[in-house]
Amino acid sequence: MTSQVRGVQLARLLGQWHALPGRRRSPDYAALAGAVRGLLADGRLPLGVRLPAERELAEALRISRTTVTAAYRQLRETGHLASRRGAGSWTMLPGNHRVASSGLWTPLDDLDMIDLGCAALSAPPQLVPAARAAAEDLPRYLCGAGYHPTGIVELREAVADSYTARGLPTSPDQIMVTSGTQHALDLVLRLALAPGGSVLVESPTYPNALAALAARRARITTHGLAADGAGWDGDLLLGSLRQSRPKLAYLIPEFHNPTGHLMPADLRERVVAAAHAAGTDLVVDESFVDLPLDGTPLPPPVATFDRHSRVISIGGMSKPYWGGLRIGWVRASAPQVQRLAAARVGVDMASPVLDQLVAVHLLADAPAIVSARRAQLTAQRDALLGALAQRLPDWRVTVPRGGVTLWAELDGPISSALARAAEEVGVRLAPGPRFGLDGTLERFLRLPFTLPASDLVEAVDRIAGVRYDLDRAARPQWREPVVIA
C-alpha cells in the first residue's frame, strides 16, 4: 500500500479544488481542507498515508505555505490528520473510523443516508427459499472435506450452460467458481500480470478494478469512452492496443459500469483480433450481462470471437441476484482454469459450498428472477430519469439500455464538491473522479438506479437543493465596476 503521497500526486488528486463553485464561501485554507476531506471520504486518498510536507504541497499547488499550514491545522482539528513533530502528518478519519481504500463502504448505523455510492440491488424474494433448498442439499457434500478449488460441479455446470445458451459452447472444466467477480479479477491478474505489467482500461471504469490493478502495481493506459453515443471509439481503441501492446486489457462491454454502454458485435470481433495481434490478454467483465432493459438484444459474448485463448471472461451473481452471496466465476480454457485453481490455493483455497448451492438454486430459477429484476430496474431507471429531467434539466444523460447505472454529464466541473455537499443532506454519491485515474471526470457523476423509486426521487430532490446552493455561494458578494468605454 502507498505509505506516502508526494506533493505533485496530491496536487493531481486535488484537481480544480480552488476553482470549485461554492469555494468563495470559505477562505483558501478551508477550501483546501474541505477538498482533502472529500478525497478521504470517497477513498481516493487512503487512510494512514503521510501527506507531503507543507512547503512541498505549497510549491506543488503554487499557493502560500501559510495556507497549507492553516489547512493542515484545520484537518487536525476535525480529526482528519495526525501529526508528530519532525515526523510528518498522516491521514485518518474522526473517531479513528476506517474506510476501505476503494471507498465502497456504508456505515450500517447511518440509516437516514440514501446511498447512491453503491450500485447493487437488495436480495430478491427467491433468496430465502433458495437458501432453504441449499441447506437440504448440503448433506450430499458433508462426507467430503468441502474444498473444491474450481467450485462444486453442479454450479460449474449451471454456469457453463448459461454461456452455452448465449451461443458460446462451454464445458464445466472451463469454469472456476470464485468469491465474487472482484475475486475473479484479482485471481486472473495474479496469473496473467506480472507486478508492474502494462494494462489498458476504459476511462471511466469500475473503481475496484483500478484498486485490484493498483495492488499489482500495474502501469495503466486508458481508452476514453464518450459519455454519449457509441461509447467506445473503435479506431482509437484498436490503435491503443496496436501501439501500446499492453500485457492485458480489462473491458466491461456489457452495460459498462459506470456509463451503461453496450459494445457492438463488430467491435467485439475487431478487439479480439487486435488483442491477439498485439499479444494482449483480454479480461472481459460481464457483471451486467443479464440485465438488458427495454428488450435490448445482446451481441455475442466477446469470447465467441476468440480462437487463441486470449479472452478470459469474468462474471457473477451480485448484479442480477445478490452481492451478499459472494459468488462469481471465471470462464477460460481448461488449462487456464487449472492454473487459476493452483494460484487460488495460496489465497482462499475454495469458495463456501453452501453459498454455491444457493447459487445453483437461484440459477435454476433464473428466468423468473431476472425478468422481475429487469422490470424493477426499468421502473427505477425511469423514475430517476424523470426526476433528473424535472429538477436538474441542465444535466445531460444518455438513457442506459441495461445495467444499473447512468452517467450524468453535469453543468460544470463540480462532481466532488457536489458529493461533499450532498453528504451533508444525507445522500452519498460516487463522484466522477472515482471512476478515473487522474482526478479528471469532475464533470460527471454516476447515479445507480438500484434503490426504490421513492428514494431516487428524494435523492435527486436533495441533490438539486445543494446544487443550487453551490451556485449561490459561488456568486461574488461584490460587483466588478462596470467599464464604460
Ligand X SMILES: Cc1ncc(COP(=O)(O)O)c(C=O)c1O
Q: Which residues bind ligand X (CB under 6 A)?
A: 119, 180-182, 206, 252, 257, 285, 287, 316, 318, 323, 328
Nearer to ligand X, 318 or 416 (CB): 318
Q: Nearest approach, Cβ of 148 to ligand X (angstroms)?
A: 19
Cell, residue 288: 451486467
Backbone angles phi, psi at 393, to 5 degrees: -65, -15
Residue 226 DSSP symbol:
P
The kind and range of the H/E element at 131 are helix 127-137
Give the C-alpha separation, 184 to 60, whole Å: 39
Please answer whether residues 232 and 201 qualify as being in contact, where contact means their C-beta atoms are separated by less than 8 angstroms: no
Backbone angles phi, psi at 233, to 5 degrees: -100, 105
Q: Nearest approach, Cβ of 256 to ligand X (angstroms)?
A: 8
Nearer to ligand X, 22 or 328 (CB): 328
Nearer to ligand X, 170 or 287 (CB): 287
Give the C-alpha separation, 341 to 427, whole Å: 41
Q: Nearest approach, Cβ of 321 to ligand X (angstroms)?
A: 10
Cell, residue 104: 465502497
* Angle, vertex CA 164, rays to CA 375 and CA 232, nearest 5: 65
Q: Nearest approach, Cβ of 259 to ligand X (angstroms)?
A: 11
Q: Is 144 exposed, middle or buried (0-12, 13-18, 19+ CB in 10 A)?
A: exposed
Nearer to ligand X, 204 or 328 (CB): 328
Cross-strand bridge partners of residue 282: 249, 311
Nearer to ligand X, 285 or 355 (CB): 285
Give the C-alpha separation, 176 to 356, whole Å: 12
Q: Nearest approach, Cβ of 184 to ligand X (angstroms)?
A: 7
Give the C-alpha separation, 194 to 32, whole Å: 38
Please answer whether residues 333 and 121 qualify as being in contact, where contact means their C-beta atoms are separated by less than 8 angstroms: no
Nearer to ligand X, 20 or 311 (CB): 311
Q: Nearest approach, Cβ of 191 to ligand X (angstroms)?
A: 17
Q: Nearest approach, Cβ of 251 to ligand X (angstroms)?
A: 10
In this chain, which residue has its C-beta nearest to ligand X?
180
Cross-strand bridge partners of residue 198: 219
Cell, residue 198: 502494462
Chain-centre distance for alpha carbon 113: 20
Nearer to ligand X, 101 or 181 (CB): 181
Q: Nearest approach, Cβ of 443 to ligand X (angstroms)?
A: 21
Nearer to ligand X, 185 or 241 (CB): 185
Residue 88 DSSP symbol:
E
User: What sign for the dihedral angle of Cα 60, 30, 471, 404?
Assistant: positive
Q: Nearest approach, Cβ of 324 to ligand X (angstroms)?
A: 9
Nearer to ligand X, 209 or 275 (CB): 209
